[in-house]
Structure 1
């Protein structure tokens, strides 16, 4: 990314425990099926990752300068809610321009800083049930639909589902790696 300082190997691993996202416009049916399976599994996997953490552990940043585990869980719910709505817009409108949101500022709002994580975990469970049902109902032509992101350009639903599969694994890995590093 331009304007982003280079990260040394250990900083990169803390920030991107499964590696940085690599966009691709040529997804196979098998890759799409796997991405949907990851989305289906996210609520349970994230619950397993954070379920036994104390309040003080939830207040621990997953890396220096990063969000707390609590903020991270609420971020995933915020992000995936936006993604679900964007999917529905892309399926019902012709290449709509979506509105981005300031993730960092959302993470500083009182609900993201203080609300128990079970609230966002419950939201993710219901949201992902609907989202996965919708995704599995799409035909080949529907996957070519998409939206215009003002900063990223045109993104097909095929690209977006792959990105959110990565996003699911990425943030779950943040928690799991933190637990491993701190011996929790």
Structure 2
């Protein structure tokens, strides 16, 4: 059984990573589309991916919480990025979408009973996952991309645009 401390820790990480990601929408300025190499993502692509991921998390959580042993579908981030044209998205709209989904997710997770943090579904790539595991997977994912965004900041500042 999960402790209140474990749950609160994940909620805190969700809030903190959400705040940091939101700040990134305005921190790149004219360097938003800088790519350190052709095969790497720009900050805009990373932020678009994080917005997509937030929408997917919101759907997966609602599915997991409301259905019995649901199947949680994976998605191909590279196909989404190649097909959904993140370079054409308006940053204020992406930021609003990310923030709204993150805030609704946090509200949802704060109001569910601790027992629902143990509820299980089956992710098509990761296998059996509890609500808690899905949140941990998301927070870890966000932390990795925040590190990627920091490296993009450093790389873009080292190049004269």
TM-score (normalised: structure 1): 0.76
CA 1:178/1:147 → structure 2, altered by over 3 Å: closer, same or farther? same
Q: 1:112 to 1:142 in 2, by over 3 A?
A: same
Measure, in 1, the Cα distance between the counterparts of 2:37 and 2:123.
28
Deviates more, 1:145-154 or 1:62-71: 62-71
Query: Aligned match of 2:51 in 77, 80, 92?
Result: 77
Query: What are the equivalent positions in structure 2 for 1:86-97 lying under 5 Å apart?
Result: 86-97=60-71
Q: Figure out how many residues of one structure are paired with residues of the other and give that number.
A: 158
CA RMSD across the alignment:
2.2
Q: Where in structure 2 are the equivalents of 1:27-66 lying within 5 Å?
A: 28-55=3-30, 57-61=31-35, 65-66=39-40
Between structures 1 and 2, the one with greater helix share: 2
C-alpha distance in 1 between matches for 2:8 and 2:58: 17
Give the C-alpha shift of residue 30 in structure 1.
2.3
Q: Tell me: CA distance 1:66–1:30, structure 2 relative to 1, closer, same or farther (3 Å).
A: farther
Aligned pair in 2 of structure 1 residues 76, 67: CA closer, same or farther (>3 Å)? same
Q: Which residue of 1 aligns with 2:147?
A: 173
2:139 and 2:105 map into 1 onto residues whose CA distance is 12
TM-score (norm 2): 0.86
Structure 1 residue runs of 5 or longer lacking an equivalent are 1-25
Distance 1:101 1:110 in 2: 13
